[in-house]
Amino acid sequence: MNNMELAGALVTSPSAAFADLKEKPRFWFPLLTVCLTTAAIFIWYYSIVDIEWLKDRLFSANPRMDQMSEQQREAAGKFMSANFLMWSSVASIVITIPIMRALEAVYFTLAGNVINVRYKFEHWFALSCWTGLPHVIGTAAMVVYLLTANTNQISNEELSLLSLNELFFHKSMTEPGFALLSSITLIHPWVWWLTVLGVRVWSGRSWLFSSVFALLPVVILYGAWAAWAYIR
C-alpha cells in the first residue's frame, strides 16, 4: 500500500493496514500530517482571535496575576502577543508530538523485548505515528468551527470542540480536571483501539494481552494525571 491507501485502510481494513506496516514500516507521512495540520490550525486561530479578549481571559484564570503590580501585569500583557502565543504553540506542537510518539515507541520496544514481542524501534515508532493519524479528524472539526464561527472571541477549549470537557463536563479553567478533560477527545478511544489491534496483529496474541500491553502507559499516564488533578 502507498501512504494514502494505508490511511484509508486504517478505516476500512485496519488489520490489513497493520499487516502491511509490519512488512514495510514507515512513519513520515502520518507524523508530518498530524504535526503540520495541527500547527496550521493554531496559526490560523491566533491570526484571527481577539487577542486582548483572550489575554484577559487567561489572566483572570491565573491567580498569580492578582499578586502582580499594575506594571507587571502590563509587561506580561505586552509579552503575550498574538505572535508569541502563535509561535510558542507551533513550537510546542512540532516538538511535543514527535517526542510523545518516540516515548511510546521506546516503551513498546523495551516492553516487547521483555515479553517476547520483539520489533525494532522503527516498527513501533511507525505504529505509534499511524495510530495517531485519526487526530486529523479533530483538526478538521476545528477548521469547520473556525469557518462557521460568528465571533473572533474563541477560547482554546472551544476550539477543541471534540474534547470531553467541551462536549460533556464544561469545567472552567480554574476547576480541577479542566486540563485533563480538555486533553481527551472523542478521537482517543479510536486511537487506543487501533493501537491494541496493531499489537494484536503483530504479536498474534489475545485481545486481553494486546490491550494490557498497548494501554498500560495510557492507564498510568491518565490515572496519575487524574489523581494529581482531583486529590491535590
Q: Are 57 and 34 in contact (CB under 8 A)?
A: no
Tell me which of 100-114, 173-187, 201-215 is least confident: 173-187
Q: Is the pLDDT of residue 40 over 80?
A: yes
Question: Is 80 exceeded by the pLDDT of residue 232?
Answer: no
Secondary structure class of 185 (helix, strand, coil): strand
pLDDT above 80 for 52: yes
pLDDT per residue as tens digits for the range 10-30: 999 999 999 999 999 999 999
For residues 45-61, average pLDDT = 89
What pLDDT was estimated at residue 14?
A: 97
pLDDT at 231: 81
**Average pLDDT estimate for 157-168:** 93
Take residue 120 and report the three cell numbers written for it. Answer: 525494532
DSSP annotation string for 43-100? HHHHHHS-HHHHHHHHHHT-GGGGGS-HHHHHHHHHHS-HHHHHHHHHHHHHHHHHHH
Does residue 93 surpass a pLDDT of 90? yes
Q: Which residues sit opposite 163 in a β-bridge?
A: 185
**Whole-number Å distance between alpha carbons of 149 and 13:** 35
The pTM score is: 0.92
User: Quick one: pLDDT at residue 173?
Assistant: 86
Residue 50 above 90 pLDDT? yes
Kindly write down the DSSP assignment for every residue of 121-175, as one continuous string: HHHHHHHHHHHTTTHHHHHHHHHHHHHH-S-S---HHHH-TTBHIIIII---TTS
Give phi and psi for 112, each to the nearest 5.
Answer: -65, -35
Residues 115-130 pLDDT 10s:
999 999 999 999 999 9
pLDDT, average across residues 206-216: 97
Q: What integer is the mean pLDDT of 182-205?
A: 97
Helix (H) or strand (E) holding 213: helix 207-231
Q: 65: pLDDT confidence band, cut at 50, 70 and 90? A: low
Q: What does the block give as the cell for 22?
A: 509490519
